[in-house]
Structures are given as C-alpha cells and as structure tokens.
Structure 1
C-alpha cells in the first residue's frame, strides 16, 4: 500500500512578503493560504512529490488571487499581477490598501453583544482549547454558553468550571439540534453565533459576525472554515472533496437564489457549515427552531442547512462572509470519516425531503431520481477496482442516502411540530 504523505499548511501574508516559500515536496505536500492583512484571499495545494518552479508558483498565485481581488474592486486590466511577480511589496501595498480599507478595521470594540454557543459532548480537550481561544480574541463576545449534550461523564462541566465567565447548561436529551435549541433559549443577546468545539476562531471573528448583521436584511450568516491540519489521508479526503471552505468572496443568499433553484431543489448545503454560523435571535420567532429530527443523535446531519432553507423560504437573507474565519480540526481516522460521511448523506436525504414537504415546488426528488443515480454510477465505474481517495467513501454515501429515505418515512410526522417550536416567550434580550 502506498504510504500517505501529510500536507504542511502555511499561511502567507502578502503585505509582509511576496517571496516564494520553500516548496520541498519530497516528504510532504503543501496547502498554502494567502492573506492580505486580516483578509484571507485564496489557497492552493502542491501535491507530495510535485515539483513547482518559481515561475509556476507565481502563475498559480496570480490565478487564485484574481477572483478575490476582482470582488474587492480591482479592475481586470490592473497591474497588480506584475507587482506580485516582481515581488514589489511597496507598490502592491499602494494598490491593495485602498481596496481593503473598508474591510480591515483600524480599531475594534473590546466587546460586542453577541452570544457564542458551543454544543459539546465528552470532548474536554477540544472544548478547553475552544474556550481559551474565544477569551483571547481581539474583540470579545458578550457571553459564551456551553451546552453539554447528554454527557456520559462530567468532563465538560469540569472544563467550564475553570472559566467563571462561561455559562454551563446541561441538556440531557441527545441530539445536536436539541442542543442548539437549548443554546438559543439560553442566549441573552440579539446575535447568536455557533461554533463547534473542534474549531479555533480568528481574532476578529466576533467583530466580523457582528458587522454582518449591520445589514437589516440579513437574518443569518455563515463564514469561512479553514482546515487546521492535514496530516492524515482522512483529513486530506475531507478537505479536497467535502470541504467546509466555501470560498473567499461574499455571497448573499436571498429570495432570488431560492426561487432560481426551485426546479431541482435549492442547494442550501453549499451556503456554509454549522461549524461557523450565526443568527439573529429574533429569526427563530419567525421561522421556528432547529428541526430536532435532524443531526447527531437523529437523522445524522443537515439541521443547519435546513434552517437556512427555512429562513430563505420565509423571504429573509443569509450572508456568507469569508472574513468571519474559523479553523476546523477534521477527523483523522478513515473509519471516523466514513461514519461522518454516512451521517452527512443520511441527514442530507432527510432534510431535502422535509424541505420539499415545506415547499412542494422545491423539486429535490429530481435530484434523487435523476441526478444522484447517474452521479454515483459514474463514480463507481471511475473508481473501479481500487476505490481510492474520493471513492473510499462511496459505499458510506450510498448507504446513508438509503438510510435517509427510511428514516424520513418513519419520522416525517414529528417534524412539523418541531419546526414550529418557538423560543421561550418573553425572554428579555440584552443589547450591550
């Protein structure tokens, strides 16, 4: 069996240097992430054993930077590419700084009225690391709430006890969306942000979350998720084929997006990841809480995307803001990855069928009966006989889809009541 080689993740800050990094790929690959100050702009992979000349490096760099720079206001015929290739940081800075002036704050408040909710279960190490990072941000949340979801030990409670300013809530019923709903009820501030316990957050994360909601049309947001390590084959497969990274340019999802895709079912799973999302607390009063038959402990996954779907179907906007950044620790073991992908596809199936129940014109059945069979037949043929890399999870995916159909048929009658469940009435929100 061929030995798997890891990838080294390097964050390169172009305002500091345009020199090409050392790209020895004999013992590992490279995953390069490019920044302009606090704004992530692009990334690319260099595979283990792949030789990249300096000229090829700068060609790749210019190509991946272009979409972001066009979004931030650069003109197609601008000279920035020449400044990059010539490694002229001074001239490039004079070009770039005005583009990013509105997006890079010169100063930020010490604290903002945002509640951060962490749903966790028996993961003391990750939880401790996540809380410590949240308490060291440049801009702090007004509160941190930990929801301990059906724990089998006291490890999470013991971790939170070390942080006097963090609120601990034990939720005895198993299920991620049950925990999320408990977090919504416990939150005291008008913006509720969720992070997974296995993420680290960027120093300006809270500031960027809060800024997103200064647009009154926005009722939910998602943000950029960057891999924190790519040491194992499972982590590589996930990042290359199932990544939470949705790109480096803003996307506004609104009614036009929703109606445009009704013919084959709006692809709400493309909007972001539950590892980095936030909501106006008031939106739950309008659209209901998370559907508790989805996600961990139930259907498998997709409670987050089903909620985005419901928000869009009610005519509200969702903003993907790539300047709100977290770093995610992917599962290291192939067995755990396959379980994760099985849960994703099971939850995807249940959520899509529930979404079609809500809006019958959302033709998700077209995806199941027309697109997906062709898709998996093509992957099965292409992967034969060795089924490596992307194809290692094919069987888990197909089993997840079938399991999702059966789960939906058994449980769909419980979903409507759960979707219309409201937050606790009369709860006074703090604003500062």
Structure 2
C-alpha cells in the first residue's frame, strides 16, 4: 500500500459521509494504491454502521479500526499501527478535501523526499464568523485555519509546521522518533472544558525538528476545508483552549525554575497582572470585542500557573 488516509473520530458519525465522499472524488492519483482508515476512538453512536455503509457504497477502499483508549493521540497511534503504507495522512472528520488533495501530497513527498507534508486548511465558506474573531490578530488559526501562501516551501517544524487537520508523514518518521505522545491532545469530543485541547501535533513536529534532519514541506495545492461547529464560535471556547494549553504545557514542563511561588515560576505572576492590565486598558479604549485577543493571553498565563501548581502539588 502506498498511502493511508487516517480519520480519527469520536461520536461524530454525522460528519463521516461528507468527509469520505470527498475522498472518493480524488483525481490524478494514477495507479498508486491507497486506502482510508477510520479509527473509531470508542464511539457510542452509530459510527461503525455508518462506516460500513460508506465502505459498501463508495468506490474506494475503506477500513474500520477501533481504539478503546480515549484521546486523539491514542487514535492517531492506532492508525499508524493498523496501516503499513509508505505514507500516511491525517484529516479530521469535519474536513472536506479538494479533488487534487491526495495527488498533491504524493507529488510533494516524491519531489522533495519529504518526511512530512502539510497543506492549506481553509474555513468552510458557509461559516459566518462573529466580528470578534479577527484575522489581523491571528485568531483564524484557533479554528484550524492555515495558509502559508501560494508557493511551496520548507518548514522548520518549530515556528512553522502543518496543523493536524491536514498533515502527512513518511513511515520512516515513526521509525526515527516513535509515536505521538498520548499525554497531549484532545480527549473525547472536545465539547467539555476538560476535553478542549488544540495542537497535539505540535510536540511531534518539535520532536521531529530536534533530530536536525527533518524534511517538512508545505504544499499549497493540498487544500482542505474545515467545517467550524457552532460551539467553536463562542468566546468561552477560545478562552478554554488557551487556558488548557497553558495548563498542559506547564504540567509537562521539565524546566527546573529556581524561583517559585506556590509551585509556579515567580515571573508568571507579574506577567499575568500585566496581561490583565493590558486587557482592561484595551476594553476601555477599544471595546471588549477588540480586546478579546488579549483576554486569551490572560487565560493562557492563568492556565500555566494552574499547571505548574498542580505539578508541584503532585510531586510534593
């Protein structure tokens, strides 16, 4: 098998027909052998039946696997274990790929001898974004949007790397750095506060970049469209993913900070106060919608303090 497209899903059976039907419309792949693998992360809805119906109806190879351990990175790792393709890609179940998507990924891997490739992620054109989600403040990225421009380029894997909704790897990457770290990432459907985490692929790309020989490329022809759900267009969603991101990063940070206060690095407290002050100033001068991006920074710093304190309490 040349390529496996892995879709990790949990209790979102309704998303699968649109996602898989788009994959069935791929063009330009030629005689390369490829398949779709749906990894069911212990769903309780009709996901198995929906996958079975689509496998019978669509003219592409579709397989089903179940991963009982809850968590996006557990599901991603199950997809790696259940496939033996030279290349494997991940798309989310709320993604619709363009017709040239797979051919573009094949071309990028073969042209660049790439370890990893990512493409554009655009928001579904039907989505109407509230005014406080500002493109000039980089907020589209928190809805999965990614576009590095019209030209292919090599990415460093640290500051610039593919997002999880549209990323692909050569199997040698797993042989080199292993699997995704299950400590990171979303648990469940991502609707409850405790489940909301973004960017669980970040650690993986940082680990790949740390080898010093990572060949990570951006391929603009590999375009997908992300369907944003209503709960993701609320301010509480943005606050929560930032709070949880700070908490998660801090909890797993191994840095030995010499000066701590209540378990957290002392410098974080004045940082939090300054960020809160900037937020209040922006509310007064520009209004709460414009200032919301700064409120997200406050949430991240507050989460960081909570994460460090929790880690210190558990370690005594």
Q: Considering the TM-score relative to the shorter chain, is it more than 0.5?
A: yes
Does 2:179 align with 1:279?
no
Superposed, 1:134-149 pairs within 5 Å as 134-139=23-28, 142-149=34-41
Superposed, 1:1-40 pairs within 5 Å as none
Does 2:137 align with 1:247?
no
Alignment match, 1:193: 89
- Rg larger in 1 or in 2? 1
Q: TM-score, normalised by structure 2?
A: 0.75
Q: Pairwise CA RMSD of aligned residues?
A: 3.4
Contact 2:268 2:301 in 1 (8 A): no
Gaps of 5+ in 2: 56-60, 188-194, 258-264
Deviation at 1:232, TM superposition (A): 3.3
Does 2:273 align with 1:382?
no
Aligned length: 281
Do the aligned partners of residues 375 and 399 (structure 1) sit closer, same or farther apart at CA in structure 2, a change above 3 Å counting? closer
Alignment match, 1:309: 206
Do the aligned partners of residues 375 and 392 (structure 1) sit closer, same or farther apart at CA in structure 2, a change above 3 Å counting? closer
Query: For the residues of structure 1 that align with 2:77 and 2:28, how far apart are their CA atoms?
Result: 25
Does 2:298 align with 1:398?
yes
Question: Residue deviations 1:17-72, cap 9 Å, x none?
Answer: xxxxxxxxxxxxxxxxxxxxxxxxxxxxxxxxxxxxxxxxxxxxxxxxxxxxxxxx
Contact 1:338 1:396 in 2 (8 A): no
Question: Residue deviations 1:238-260, cap 9 Å, x none?
Answer: 76623322331333124xxx7xx
Q: TM-score, normalised by structure 1?
A: 0.56
Does 2:207 align with 1:320?
no
Do the aligned partners of residues 284 and 156 (structure 1) sit closer, same or farther apart at CA in structure 2, a change above 3 Å counting? same
Deviation at 1:175, TM superposition (A): 0.8
Deviation at 1:159, TM superposition (A): 1.1
Alignment match, 1:113: 2
236, 247, 251: which is aligned to 1:338? 236
Contact 2:186 2:197 in 1 (8 A): yes
Question: Residue deviations 1:292-325, cap 9 Å, x none?
Answer: 1111126822221111111111121211221111
Contact 1:293 1:411 in 2 (8 A): no
Comparing both chains, which one has the higher relative contact order based on Cα–Cα distances under 8 Å and sequence gaps of 6 or more? 2
Alignment match, 2:261: none
Does 2:172 align with 1:292?
no
Deviation at 1:180, TM superposition (A): 0.8
Gaps of 5+ in 1: 1-111, 259-265, 413-432
Query: For 1:274, what is the secondary structure of its paired residue?
Result: coil
Do the aligned partners of residues 195 and 238 (structure 1) sit closer, same or farther apart at CA in structure 2, a change above 3 Å counting? farther
